[in-house]
């Protein structure tokens, strides 16, 4: 490891021992589109994936009525449908409780969720590039501008 990389890792604090992380994220500022999180070393990418199934609707994901019913049942299990945060973090000597607490502090609270008018969030991410599947737009309630 070169000196510059070592200095960056030392300044990273609780995330310093994280070697790799990846998964899916749901951003409050982009509620209809699933985000992809991929980090290796000092490089982090957050990219758009596809609309969440809850946005598209089961009937637009599959034509099979049995699969549609199974999707509808799964979506009904939680008020947000399939929207979620799902990250895998790999490293050495991780402070699991500390990392979990820090990530949890970034989540929208129950009060904010109940009253979206209270949810005022700056979006630090750049605009996502053009969606390669623009036909999804008709199923989304909001779009990135």
Q: What is the fold, at CATH topology level, of the domain defined by 3-112?
A: Hypothetical Protein Yjia; Chain: A;domain 2 (3.30.1220)
Q: What pLDDT is stored for residue 126 in this prediction?
A: 78
Q: Where are the domains of the chain?
A: 3-112
Mapped to the 3 state alphabet, what secondary structure does the chain carry?
CCHHHHHHHHHCHHHCCEEEEEEEEEECCEEEEEEEEEEECCEEEEEEEEECHHHHCHHHCCCCHHHHHHHHHHHHCCCCCCCCCEEEEEECCCCHHHHHHHHHCCCCCHHHHHCHHHCCCCCCCCCCCCCCCHHHHHHCCCCCC
Contact criterion met (CB below 8 Å) for 131 and 50: no
Average pLDDT (126-132) is 66
For 48-96, write each residue's pLDDT tens digit: 998 999 999 988 888 899 999 999 999 999 988 999 999 999 999 999 9
Lay out the sheet containing 43-51: strands in order across: 43-51, 30-40, 18-27, 86-91
Residue 133 pLDDT greater than 60, yes or no: no
* CA proximity to 25, closest of 97, 114, 125: 125
Q: What pLDDT is stored for residue 2 in this prediction?
A: 59
- C-alpha 128/C-alpha 145 separation (Å) is 9
For 7-37, write each residue's pLDDT tens digit: 665 666 888 889 999 999 998 888 889 999 9
Q: What pLDDT is stored for residue 5 in this prediction?
A: 63
Instruction: Pick 129 or 27 by higher pLDDT.
Output: 27
Q: Count how many Cα atoms sit within 13 Å of the Cα of residue 6 in the half-sphere of its side chain.
A: 3
């Amino acid at each position: 490891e070169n000196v510059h990389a070592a200095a960056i890792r030392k300044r990273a604090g609780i995330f310093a021992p994280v070697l790799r992380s990846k998964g899916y994220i749901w951003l409050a500022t982009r509620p209809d589109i699933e985000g992809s999180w991929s980090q290796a070393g000092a490089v982090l990418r957050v990219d758009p994936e596809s609309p969440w199934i809850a946005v598209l609707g089961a009937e637009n994901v599959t034509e099979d009525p049995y699969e549609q019913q199974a999707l509808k049942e799964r979506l009904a299990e939680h008020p947000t449908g399939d929207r979620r945060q799902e990250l895998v973090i790999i490293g050495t000597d991780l402070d699991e409780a500390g990392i979990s607490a820090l990530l949890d502090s970034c989540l929208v609270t129950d009060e904010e969720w109940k009253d979206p008018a209270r949810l005022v969030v700056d979006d630090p991410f750049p605009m996502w590039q053009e969606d390669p599947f623009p036909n999804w737009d008709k199923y989304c309630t909001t779009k990135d501008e």
